[in-house]
Amino acid sequence: MKLNQLLKDVNVLKTNVQPDMEITSVVYDSRKVIPGCMFVAVVGFATDGNKYIPMALQKGAAVVVTAQPQDDSVPYVQVASDRLALAQIGCNFYDHPGDSMQIIGITGTNGKTSSTLLLKHVLECVYGAKVGLIGTMENLIGHTPIPTERTTPESFDLQALLAQMRDAGCRYVIMEVSSHALCLDRVAGLQYAVGAFTNLTEDHLDFHKTMEDYCDAKAELFARCEKAVANLDDEWFDRITKKAACPMITTSVKGDGDLKAGDLELHSDGISFTACYNNETVAVTLPIPGQFTVYNALTVIGCALQLGISLANCAAALKTAKGIKGRVEVVPTPGKDYTVLIDYAHTPDGLENVLLAVKHFCKGRLIAVFGCGGDRDPVKRPIMGRIGTEIADYAIITSDNPRTEDPMKIIEDIRKGVDLTKNTFEILENRPKAIYRAMDIAEKNDIIVLAGKGHETYQEICGVKHHLDEREVVAAYLEETRNG
């Protein structure tokens, strides 16, 4: 592809190369440079791509794209923003794949994964369509999984993935859209058919610093969509929807939204409610317990309505949905008279929601096993310590993904929020041992909630990912105790 074709719509400040030069490929990782390629030097958090320009040129890069001035000995294009340029170049290189599909973006602190998976199910049931999904658990082209490492891929990789989905015949793409992706221009160049907001609670303040900044980052989604769906009950609703100049459906359980849920029934194996929209009502059931599932269902129904699906057809599709891995997931415990649940809750609000939901139907004690991730917002740690030990009848504070931090330092931060006069918790750093301990003390009708890992099958310690599937840990405990 010609350089000038790749640079279409890019704000170029200066260049010393011929605009019609041929470019073989585009990379932003110097380790992937091949002769004739374009190397986009991006300033990141861990490293600065500009440091690798000499290496890229030595390996045969034809031109460098950078936001920093360069010596004339370097064949370069200086741009106003390296991240925005990378996104725009990706759109041009893959011929704007997003334009060929309807893209639905869902943002918020909690509920994104469940909402995207449920909406995918609805679109497949009602339209028989091939649907792409981009999210925390995995990326999917139809039912074919593609591994993922972050909620929203880097912009160039995102365009490559969208091109795969387009070429595979996807009519719709449903995305979890993170605040980082919006701030860092990973989704630049995309227009959303529908943008949806689930809720906003404390998270990622290591990056955004304040809740206001976090909210404003999420709000950027509504400047990029043709239609919108938003949770009216959330305290940040007004601020997050201020940029929405498109038709919007508001959802509500407590207030007077356009799409309302009433007659709520919360059960141990799911929820049921009556959805009302434009004077039409329909019964909705889902096999996922908790009031948060009602809110997720409203988000899904709102998106479906904006995509032309009737209330009745959406409800019929949701009735056939299955539980979601790592979201209030029941782990088999044959021969035991207690229950083990796995949930991805890793924020204060997420932990509170799942524990309160389980508390509602727990006939015995609620035992919570939880921790907090390393290299992430430390402010939420004592808050989660307070929530976990106040709601659960007994709590075991352990490691989550300590990443590069000292696990006991994270646990100490969590412990600061705990009322030490209550003898209803203990600390056990080793997560498998913490799970064993919970199962050791569990009695008839107790429910153990393993919070934080959810669908993940690894634990990151000292920057290294070690295999850890909590389902396997539970099964190993059962096998060991069965054999005496």
The reported pLDDT for the residue numbered 203 is: 65
Does residue 12 sit in helix, strand or coil? Answer: strand
Which of the pair, 151 or 311, is modelled with greater confidence? 311
Q: What is the dihedral of CA 113, 118, 123, 125, to 10 degrees?
A: 150
Terminal-to-terminal C-alpha distance of the chain: 67
The reported pLDDT for the residue numbered 243 is: 79
The reported pLDDT for the residue numbered 152 is: 75
- Quick check: 46 pLDDT over 80? no
Largest CA distance in the chain: 75
Distance CA 307, CA 296 (A): 17
- Could you give the domains of the chain? 3-93 (3.40.1390.10), 97-319 (3.40.1190.10), 329-482 (3.90.190.20)
Q: What is the dihedral of CA 384, 251, 120, 201, to 10 degrees?
A: -20
Least confident of 4-18, 134-148, 341-355, 469-483: 134-148
User: pTM score, two decimals?
Assistant: 0.87
* Integer Rg of the chain from CA: 24
Sign of the torsion angle spanned by Cα atoms 235, 299, 194, 116: positive
- Quick check: 208 pLDDT over 60? no
In the chain, pLDDT over 90 holds for what percent of residues?
Answer: 87
Q: What is the pLDDT of residues 105-145, one digit of tens each?
A: 999 989 999 999 999 999 999 999 999 999 988 899 999 99
Mean confidence (pLDDT) of the chain = 94
Q: What is the pLDDT of residues 8-31, one digit of tens each?
A: 999 999 999 999 999 999 999 999
Average pLDDT of span 280-302:
96
